[in-house]
Homo-oligomer: A and B are copies of this chain.
């Protein structure tokens, strides 16, 4: 048996028993759709392959895509709204970086120091996830069946 530790949107700590490790992703999706999260965001944010961005299943990390009142796509995670920023490829003599999609928000004064990253000027931000390079992993995508249902 396996046991998955979650934090609910009310902040409650709840452990869910599952019979088999093959049920893990489905369990993360099922509770993640309700905003439940397991574990902490890694420092510097989740790192996912660039090609996973278009159909990334946000429920895997307890997040969801949401259209803000201003009509902008944002990612909602544990009470915070994150913007979707496109970082173009860098190809200079000093540095070569493939293009990336960064999911980040401005830092708040209640954010602990180790999640704040220095931006331009005095701005600090917090990164939820970055999609860059790597090789697409199918298990991170919205399952095919849900795609079909969403298209009905």
- Per-residue B-contact encoding for A41-69, CB less than 8 Å = 1, 0 else: 11110110000000000001100000000
For this complex, 8 residue pairs linking A to B, each with C-beta atoms less than 8 Å apart, are A2-B14, A3-B3, A3-B17, A11-B41, A12-B24, A12-B39, A15-B15, A109-B118
Q: How far is the CA of A60 from the CA of B8 in the complex (A)?
A: 12
Q: Is A93 an interface residue (CB 8 A)?
A: no
Q: Is A13 an interface residue (CB 8 A)?
A: yes
**3 interchain residue pairs of minimum CB distance:** A12-B38, A11-B39, A5-B13
Q: Which residues of A contact B (CB under 8 A)?
A: 1-5, 7-8, 10-17, 21, 24, 28, 31, 38-44, 46-47, 60-61, 78-79, 108-112, 114-115, 117-118
Q: How far is the CA of A8 from the CA of B61 in the complex (A)?
A: 12
| A1-B13 in contact (CB<8A) | no
Q: How far is the CA of A39 from the CA of B16 in the complex (A)?
A: 15
| B14-A1 in contact (CB<8A) | no
Q: Within the complex, what minimum Cβ distance (angstroms) separates A118 from chain B?
A: 6
Residues of chain B contacted by A114 (CB below 8 angstroms): 110-112
Residues of chain B contacted by A16 (CB below 8 angstroms): 2, 21
Residues of chain B contacted by A78 (CB below 8 angstroms): 42
Contact of A44 among B41, B42, B110, B118 (CB under 8 A): B110
Residues of chain B contacted by A112 (CB below 8 angstroms): 43, 114
Asked, given contacts A5-B13, A11-B61, A13-B4, whether A42 binds B79 with beta carbons under 8 Å apart, the answer is yes
